[in-house]
Amino acid sequence: MTALYRTYRPLDFEHVVGQEAVVRTLRNAIEGDQVRQAYLFAGPRGTGKTSMARILAKALNCSQGPTTTPDNSCNACTSITNGSSLDVIEMDAASQRGIDDIREIRERVVLQPAEGRYKVYILDEAHQLTDAAWNALLKLIEEPPPHLVFVFCTTDLAKVLPTVRSRCQTFVFQRPRLAELVTLLRRVCDGESIEAPDAALALIARGARGSFRDAVSTLDQLSAATAKDVTVQAVLQLAGAVEEDSLFRLCDTVVDRDAAGALVQIDELAERGQDLGQLVNDLLGHLRHLLLVQHVGHVPPSLPVTEETRDRLREQANQLPEPTVLRMIDLLAVAVDDMRRGADPRLPLELALVKVTRPQVDLQRESLAHRVELLEQRLHGIPAIQSAPTVTPATTPAPTPEPAASARPPEQPTQPAEAPAAAAEPTPASHALELTQLQEAWHRSVLPAVQEKKIWLGSLLAEATPIALDGAALMLEFPLEADFHRNQLLDDSSNIAAVSDALFEITGQRLTISTIVAEHSAQPTDEEEHLDEDAVIALLKDTLDAEEIESPDRQPPR
């Protein structure tokens, strides 16, 4: 049986979907007798480049033409549709890419068309041609016989030589919109008696990512698997698509600061066999939509979402703060990098959700910047977007300016005197800092922050270790042999100020710093330090399996 994407290829300009500019230009050229000798069709896969080339060939060679409405019934049209026309030669440039293949074309183009008006050469994957092959074609493209037309189709326009592009009329094919893909899929379903709800077709279209061929091929597979009864669950199971509701519910857990709920939902999706790599990519796309809505103020018509999800998207964009959306995108980029290296995306995905829902546990500087942005928004009572007419006050987490001014000032880390008032409503910025957290972040985050202020100061502090944290008082311990480094730190009060500023950047809290010297030395013991020559030689023999070479001028040990 013929695949559905071949059966439902457009046969004339009227059936082409999503390429209005290309269709309009070619039709005007045919009507005005301005057909050029070479065309270059570029665009993503599955957008109709080869189909458009065949339609152009039929329009030129139809028995009624040249015409913009080929009848698809004459011998020329039917032979072009079947791929048996002697006047329309389709070549795969991926396998016929050398200069010998181009020489064969040059020898045959002098022959007149067998039955039509034009001899049309369609070269698929034209960017695969070698530079020598392109150079051999240059003269023929520029000054061909009057009956010759070239159509080059490529998915990588940048690889086509500029000298070739300057000799062709270039058309860039656009990815179709979601509604156009759904319309095409509905037409296929009606023609093949396939039962499928609009929600299932929308999932298929979203998974195709702008490719007609991918969308129809997926529908063909689902039709065979479900006996022509395609459901939403079938699409989710067989096509690996992610349901829109899952993306919304994941972001709802971020709005509610529910880390446990987010982890449970990831576990449920994994148990159902959901491809977590696809989930990461779809979640990034969902976050991009939220960010776009927050900046534009409404849901743009160009977004590939169904009508029933537009109100929900607007509502969630109003609930989720913009800094949180940006932070999630940055964290999910780590999961994307891991997937490119073949790693499992589950752990980076879970870490991203935990870090966003509980920013107080993350002491990285990026997390601190994220928390400061959230604090500024809460202090000023700024909602995520200003124009969201369908959002009710009950679904809007951002308070009005009056309560925000009265409830949020205790979050400011620079006002420790208001700590008793903050106890009524603790925030991530006011959570008590633990010594273990600071010890873990000391070399990873604190020392780099100190080095940005004073490079040499970071080297001094590399010898120190946080050993005690009592409220806002931090105790640093230096080894006995590093007392000189400790004195260098204490010689200038600006050094302590720089360390305090770096700690504030990382932890969000002002800490007073004191230092002590360890009672015991970290240097080797006397037995290890004072080894005579014979002991050193014995150690080398035992450790490195060395052999002693006697030297006649060797002096006895002193």
Same-domain check for residues 463 and 512:
yes
Cα 417 from chain centroid (whole Å): 44
Same-domain check for residues 210 and 341:
no
Domain boundary among 125, 149, 172: 172
- Residue 306 placed within a domain: yes
Domain boundary among 401, 416, 444: 401
Written as six digits, the tokens of 445 are 């985050």
- Residue 27 placed within a domain: yes
Whether 287 and 352 have beta carbons less than 8 Å apart is answered as no
Measured between alpha carbons, how far is 197 from 340 in angstroms, rounded to an integer? 35
How many structural domains compose the chain?
A: 4
Whether 408 and 379 have beta carbons less than 8 Å apart is answered as yes
Measured between alpha carbons, how far is 177 from 303 in angstroms, rounded to an integer? 8
Cis peptide before 66 (omega within 30 of 0): yes
Domain boundary among 172, 198, 217: 172
Same-domain check for residues 156 and 197:
no
- Residue 414 placed within a domain: no
Measured between alpha carbons, how far is 552 from 248 in angstroms, rounded to an integer? 84
Question: Which CATH number belongs to the domain containing residue 451 in this structure?
Answer: 3.30.300.180
Cα 134 from chain centroid (whole Å): 35
Cα 63 from chain centroid (whole Å): 50
Domain that holds residue 462: 434-558
Residues paired with 122 in a beta bridge: 90, 151
pLDDT, position 401:
39
- Residue 417 placed within a domain: no
pLDDT, position 414:
37
Token pair 């159902």 is found at: 272
Whether 29 and 35 have beta carbons less than 8 Å apart is answered as yes
- Residue 362 placed within a domain: yes
* CA-based R_g, the chain, Å: 35
pLDDT, position 443:
79
Cα 497 from chain centroid (whole Å): 41
User: What is the pLDDT tens value at each position of the chain, 558 positions in all?
Assistant: 778 888 888 888 988 888 889 999 999 999 888 888 899 999 888 888 999 999 999 999 888 878 888 888 888 888 888 888 888 888 888 887 788 888 888 888 888 888 888 899 999 888 888 888 888 888 888 888 888 999 999 998 888 888 989 989 999 998 888 888 888 899 999 988 899 888 888 888 887 878 888 889 989 988 888 888 888 878 877 766 677 888 888 898 888 888 888 899 888 888 887 788 888 888 888 888 888 888 887 887 767 676 777 888 888 888 888 888 888 888 888 888 878 887 788 888 888 888 888 876 665 555 565 556 556 655 555 443 333 333 333 333 444 334 333 333 333 343 333 333 333 333 333 345 678 877 877 877 788 888 777 777 777 788 888 888 887 888 888 887 777 777 777 777 788 888 888 888 777 778 888 888 877 665 544 444 455 677 667 656 655 556 777 655 555 555
Question: Which CATH number belongs to the domain containing residue 213 in this structure?
Answer: 1.10.8.60
Same-domain check for residues 167 and 203:
no
Same-domain check for residues 445 and 376:
no
Same-domain check for residues 73 and 199:
no
Same-domain check for residues 10 and 155:
yes
Whether 314 and 297 have beta carbons less than 8 Å apart is answered as no
- Residue 243 placed within a domain: no
Give the predicted TM-score (pTM) of the model.
0.56
CA distances from 276 to 40, 257, 347, 417 (A): 39, 22, 10, 47
Whether 498 and 450 have beta carbons less than 8 Å apart is answered as yes
Measured between alpha carbons, how far is 76 from 61 in angstroms, rounded to an integer? 6
- Residue 91 placed within a domain: yes
Measured between alpha carbons, how far is 35 from 31 in angstroms, rounded to an integer? 9
pLDDT, position 458:
75
Same-domain check for residues 483 and 349:
no
pLDDT, position 431:
47
pLDDT, position 9:
87
Measured between alpha carbons, how far is 305 from 311 in angstroms, rounded to an integer? 11
Alpha helices in 239-364 (DSSP H): 244-255, 259-271, 276-296, 307-319, 322-340, 346-357
Q: What is the DSSP string of 4-20?
A: HHHHT---SGGG--S-H
pLDDT, position 430:
38
Same-domain check for residues 153 and 192:
no
pLDDT, position 67:
87
Backbone phi, then psi, for 410, in 5-degree steps? -60, -15
Q: What is the dihedral of CA 437, 438, 441, 445, to 10 degrees?
A: 140
Whether 74 and 116 have beta carbons less than 8 Å apart is answered as no
pLDDT, position 418:
38
- Residue 223 placed within a domain: yes
Buried b (16+ CB within 10 A) or exposed e, 496-523: bebbeebbbbbbbbebebebeeeeeeee
pLDDT, position 423:
36
Same-domain check for residues 197 and 146:
no
Measured between alpha carbons, how far is 330 from 328 in angstroms, rounded to an integer? 5
- Label residue 451 exposed, middle or buried (CB < 10 Å: 0-12, 13-18, 19+): middle
Same-domain check for residues 113 and 141:
yes
Same-domain check for residues 107 and 134:
yes
Amino acid at site 408 = R
3-state secondary structure of 529: helix
Cis peptide before 399 (omega within 30 of 0): no
Question: Which CATH number belongs to the domain containing residue 52 in this structure?
Answer: 3.40.50.300
